Amino acid sequence: MPRHDLLCSGRILIVDDEPDHVALLESLLRSDGYESVRGITDPRTVTAACDEFDPHLILLDLSMPHVDGFQVLELVHERAAGFGLAVIVVTGHTDRDTCLRALAAGACDVIGKPFDSMEVLTRVANVLGARLLHQAVRESNELLAQRVAEATRDLQEARLEVVHRLGRAAEYRDNETGLHTIRIGRSCEMVAKAVGMTDEECTMVLHAAPMHDVGKIGIRDAILLKPARLDPDEWEVMKTHTHIGAEILSGGRTELLRTAEAIALTHHERWDGAGYPDALPGDAIPVAGRICALCDVFDALTSVRPYKPAWPVEEAIAYVRSASGTQFDPELTEGFVRSLPEIMFMRDQYREPDQPPSVSATLDGGTM
């Protein structure tokens, strides 16, 4: 936009108790191309005028009844401080002390009365141009920040989508619906909330836990889909899915992938140190891995697998409670029990086609 057009778009408010002075300034400014000029002679209406007219520049007299110019400067100080509103004092009192006081109170410039028309137009153009430029830059920065935020959000959503699809790709190897990964993520989030983890940590396990079995991509179908118990050699191969998953996810630069790597590696570790692949005990197991271990076992027990039918929910809950302190972290087990109503409701939303609803069952102290 050319400079002249930018200036002409500025809104100018004249505040002076002398109607003749107001009329003179209005005529002068309009003749120079300014389209939005308004004058008021009662300084008590300045706040209302600013709210309605939203000026960029005020031409302000100092000596006025009821509310003098210094009081007006105080009233508009908040607007002026944000570069959205500038004030030029137009006064017959041009002694040094008055001018310094006006400038200290927030005025951008001081013009003496009687004024020279060219001086007024030049100073108005300088001050208004600077304020409009500041506003244009600020709005441009805000728009840029908004676009950056939108692009960042889109990128984050794209990353999460890829991550979730990676988890579901592994799950489709032995579960054609892929709903297990959704249930694991949401149940891990619920347990994390129940034990007091931060919102950020809860969100992290929500998105990272669905990748816990990504290593199954590297397990051949003859073992992964075997409709019977695995023999010892096959079981050793199956256990390698933890290392395979961690390797797939290794080297990630984001906290999400680092958390997912830890979960993939440790979600079959046990609280008593009898798990795999590294026999880590207790707190040596990352908390995200401990949470996923608990939720994964419960979901696996209550779901159909090629080698077993689904357990009744009551039996699965009893098993989880009995394994507290051996297979599972006791504190997390209690958090899981407290979360059972929400977990069961969520499971009904994302249940497998062959899984009957369970939400109608009542929970009482962790039993059903």
Q: Which residue has the tokens 């347990």?
A: 191
Token look-up 């009904």 returns 348
In angstroms, what is the C-alpha Rg of the chain?
A: 35
Helix (H, G, I), strand (E, B) or coil at 268: coil
Whole-model pTM: value is 0.61
The beta-strand segments (E) located in 66-209 are: 86-91, 109-112
Q: How many residues does the chain have?
A: 368
Dump pLDDT digits (tens) for 24-61: 999 999 998 898 999 999 999 998 898 888 899 999 99
208-258 residue pLDDT tens: 999 999 998 899 988 988 888 899 999 999 999 999 999 998 988 888 889
Of 319, 330, 327, the closest CA to residue 270 belongs to 327
- At 84-122, the pLDDT tens digits run 688 999 998 889 999 999 998 888 899 999 888 999 999
- CATH number attached to the domain at 3-144: 3.40.50.2300
pLDDT digits (tens, 9 = 90+) for 261-313: 999 999 999 999 999 999 999 999 999 999 999 999 999 999 877 677 889 99
Selection from 87, 99, 112 nearest residue 21 by Cα: 112
Non-local (6+) Cβ contacts of 135 within 8 A are 56, 83, 84
Domain boundaries, the chain: 3-144, 172-349
| CA neighbor of 272 nearest in space, from 280, 264, 261 | 280
- Is it true that 3-144 and 172-349 share their CATH fold? no
pLDDT at 254: 85
pLDDT at residue 152 greater than cutoff 80: no
Element (H, E) at 59: strand 57-60
- Fold classification of 172-349 (topology level): Hypothetical protein af1432 (1.10.3210)
Angle at 190 between CA 185 and CA 196, to 5 degrees: 125
